[in-house]
């Protein structure tokens, strides 16, 4: 019993860290542009496949870079893909919310079909950045080094992001835009540049999450759905647009799911999160930290 609780505590922490990465990117884009980017899951998948293509020689051509370099390149590629999505499509239609999120859904499905066509439906063999796992005698469980790497990376990037949006002028302009677009404009913030930077950052976060998810879980053309659904739940609970809320809610949902898997059964994983979600919606429709500084 104690073993199980300790294992939930440990695994929950690492899983939640990855959820937080996914949710932050999603929530930032909503906070700044009011855009629901349903292609965010697609970007995660893009990152995972970019990493596979770069690191394993058997997939495309004979490209095979070392895993660590592949990781970095895949993250940069995903950030650029995210920026391309904004500059090439979303920028022109973001005045209409419905059209925008329908378009991003179409992009996600387009990506799914293209990846399915090119790589097939079977999971890809993904080389680990760090292989092996840590065996914890005292806890009676083992954690892959990839999970630990994900946990550490997640907190480093969240810390960097926190520093960026609170301590630098460029970052503060992102925060300002999410509070009040008009107010930010009046103080001379360049909206286009703020939005471009937001999409780049969100893309990089999706890329990191994608590479880690791709190595700990199967890389398939359907892998974008679950992270996206978790991001939805987390973001709604935390409050759409709030970075702090996303981190808190990510840990809430991560632990809840880990607890369910350990004590109730794998098949019921989504159900308690849904109950929490409905409860939050009914009691706090804005979420835990919903738009706390926002001026509509």
Partner 1 sequence: MSSETGRSSGIASRISGAAGRAGGAALDRLTTVTGPINRVLQPLANVYNRLIGGYFGEMNGLQFVLVVGTLVGLLTAPFWGNYALIQAMIAASIWAILAMGWDIQSGYTGYISFGHSVLSGGAGYTTAMLIHNVNPELPMLVTIPVSVLAALGIGLLIALPSLRLSGPYFSLITFVAVLIFYRMMNPLSEYTGGETGLAGVEKIFDITEPVQSYYLFLLPMLAVAVALLIVARSNIGLILLAIRENESAVEAAGINATKFKIWSFMLSSIPMGIGGVLLAHRFGGVDPGSFIVVDNSIEMIAMAVVGGMGSILGPLGGAFFIILMEDIVLHAFGLDAQLRWAILWIIVLLILVFARQGLFRKLWYGLERLGGDRR
Distance (Å, whole) CA 202 – CA 213:
16
Distance (Å, whole) CA 105 – CA 9:
35
Least Å distance, CB 11 to partner 1, is 19
Binders of partner 1 among residues 14 to 33 (CB under 8 A) are 30
- 228 is written with which tokens? 């996206």
Whether the Cβ atoms of residue 241 and residue 31 lie closer than 8 Å to each other: yes
Collapsing DSSP to helix, strand or coil, 92 comes out as helix
Whether the Cβ atoms of residue 94 and residue 100 lie closer than 8 Å to each other: yes
In the list 76, 93, 216, 294, the residue contacting partner 1 (rule: CB under 8 A) is: 93
Q: Which is nearer to partner 1, 141 or 286 (CB)?
A: 286
Q: Which residue has the tokens 């892959």?
A: 144
Interaction between residue 85 and partner 1 (CB under 8 A): no
Q: Which is nearer to partner 1, 195 or 212 (CB)?
A: 195
Q: Which is nearer to partner 1, 153 or 206 (CB)?
A: 206
Interaction between residue 225 and partner 1 (CB under 8 A): yes
| DSSP 8-state symbol, 141 | E
Collapsing DSSP to helix, strand or coil, 287 comes out as coil
Interaction between residue 188 and partner 1 (CB under 8 A): no
Interaction between residue 271 and partner 1 (CB under 8 A): yes
Interaction between residue 213 and partner 1 (CB under 8 A): no
Interaction between residue 84 and partner 1 (CB under 8 A): no
Interaction between residue 265 and partner 1 (CB under 8 A): yes
- Please identify, among the stretches 96-104, 128-136, 206-214, 249-257, the one whose residues bind partner 1 according to the rule CB under 8 A: 96-104
Whether the Cβ atoms of residue 65 and residue 54 lie closer than 8 Å to each other: yes
Interaction between residue 186 and partner 1 (CB under 8 A): no
Per-position x/- string for 30-69, each x denoting binding to partner 1 as judged by CB under 8 A, each - no binding: x-----x-x-------------------------------
- 24-47: b (≥16 Cβ within 10 Å) or e: bbbbbbbbbbebbbbbbbbbbbbb
- What are the two backbone dihedrals, phi and then psi, of residue 135, each rounded to the nearest 5 degrees? -95, 120
Q: Which residue has the tokens 């022109």?
A: 92
Least Å distance, CB 207 to partner 1, is 23
- What are the two backbone dihedrals, phi and then psi, of residue 291, each rounded to the nearest 5 degrees? 45, 50
Q: Which is nearer to partner 1, 156 or 279 (CB)?
A: 279
Least Å distance, CB 167 to partner 1, is 26
> CB burial class (10 A; 0-12, 13-18, 19+) of residue 214?
buried
Q: Which is nearer to partner 1, 92 or 163 (CB)?
A: 92
Residues in contact with partner 1 by the rule CB under 8 A: 30, 36, 38, 89, 91-99, 101-103, 105-107, 109-110, 113-114, 116-117, 181-182, 185, 190-192, 195, 225-226, 229, 232-233, 235-236, 240, 265, 267-271, 274, 277-278, 281-282, 285
């Amino acid at each position: 019993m104690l073993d199980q609780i300790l294992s939930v505590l440990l695994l929950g922490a690492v899983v939640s860290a990855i959820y937080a990465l996914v949710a932050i990117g999603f929530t930032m884009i909503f906070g700044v542009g009011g855009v629901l980017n349903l292609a965010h899951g697609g970007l995660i998948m893009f990152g995972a496949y970019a990493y596979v293509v770069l690191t394993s020689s058997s997939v495309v051509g004979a490209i095979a870079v070392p895993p660590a370099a592949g990781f970095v390149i895949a993250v940069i590629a995903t950030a650029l893909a995210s920026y391309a999505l904004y500059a090439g499509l979303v920028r022109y239609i973001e005045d209409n919310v419905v059209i925008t999120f329908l378009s991003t859904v179409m992009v996600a499905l387009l990506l799914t079909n293209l990846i399915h066509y090119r790589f097939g439906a079977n999971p890809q063999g993904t080389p680990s950045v760090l292989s092996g796992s840590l065996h914890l005698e005292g806890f009676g469980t083992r954690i892959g080094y990839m999970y630990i790497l994900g946990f550490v990376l997640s907190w480093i990037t969240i810390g960097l992001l926190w520093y960026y949006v609170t301590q630098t002028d460029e970052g503060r302009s992102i925060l300002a835009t999410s509070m009040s677009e008009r107010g930010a404009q009046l103080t001379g913030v360049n909206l286009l540049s703020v939005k471009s930077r937001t999409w780049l950052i969100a893309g990089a976060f999706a890329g990191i999450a994608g590479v880690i998810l791709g190595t700990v879980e199967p890389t398939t053309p359907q892998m974008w759905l679950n992270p996206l659904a978790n991001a939805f739940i987390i973001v709604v609970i935390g409050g759409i647009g709030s970075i702090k809320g996303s981190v808190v809610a990510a840990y809430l949902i991560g632990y809840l799911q880990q607890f369910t898997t350990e004590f109730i059964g794998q098949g019921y994983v989504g159900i308690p999160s849904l109950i929490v979600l409905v409860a939050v919606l009914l009691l706090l429709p804005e979420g835990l930290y919903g738009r706390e500084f926002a001026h509509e």
